[in-house]
Amino acid sequence: MAREISGTGRVTLFPLLHMWPDVYGVAAYATTGHFGITAAVGYIPIPEVPDMSLLDVGARHSSTNASREAHAEWVLCTAWSARTVLKPGSMDIASAEWSLEPDSKAEPKGNGGNMYGHSELYVGRFTLVDEVLMKQARELLPELARR
């Protein structure tokens, strides 16, 4: 996927166990488009942590015969839940400039093709333009490891 997605707005960052039993990464959730119709959920690149394929993580949490859309719905549910109930080790930024280098796009089919107000989901590598915020995002992982 070649096109980069970018925006300015609310960003929620949260630790995510993405490879059982103990490989965590930091995920980010933002929205863009008219009324936030497009969800951007990505991973914060951290050198010592393998890249996250979020749809694969969704697949590991779904039944064996679940569709790609069901995997996307799991990702949307996880991101929306992380924003709705902020957990320890998470961070919610009211407004930040961000970009997503997408590796995949999916469209939820549940609820008439709209889930949590989103009709499409892009997943991939997430970057905060502000270097200080990016550093803080990467530091969420060691914070979690100390608990």
Q: What is the pLDDT of residues 40-69, one digit of tens each?
A: 999 999 988 888 899 988 888 777 677 878
Residue range 15-28: mean pLDDT, rounded: 86
3-state secondary structure of 130: coil
CA distance 142 to 21: 17
Distance CA 123, CA 40 (A): 6
For residue 47, whether the previous peptide bond is cis, meaning omega lies within 30 degrees of 0, is no
146: Cβ–Cβ under 8 A, 6 or more apart, which residues?
none
Which pTM does this prediction carry? 0.90
Name the pLDDT band for 78 (thresholds 50, 70, 90). very high
Does 98 score more than 50 pLDDT? Answer: yes
pLDDT at 33 exceeding the cut of 50 = yes
Question: Dihedral sign, CA of 53, 68, 114, 18?
Answer: negative
* Percent of the chain whose predicted confidence (pLDDT) is above 90: 56
Give 146's pLDDT tier (boundaries 50, 70, 90): very low
Among residues 35, 47, 28, 48, which one has the least CA distance to residue 102?
A: 28
pLDDT of 147 over the 50 cut: no
Cα 36 from Cα 117, distance rounded (Å): 7
In this prediction, residue 2 carries a pLDDT of 53
pLDDT the model gives residue 67 = 84
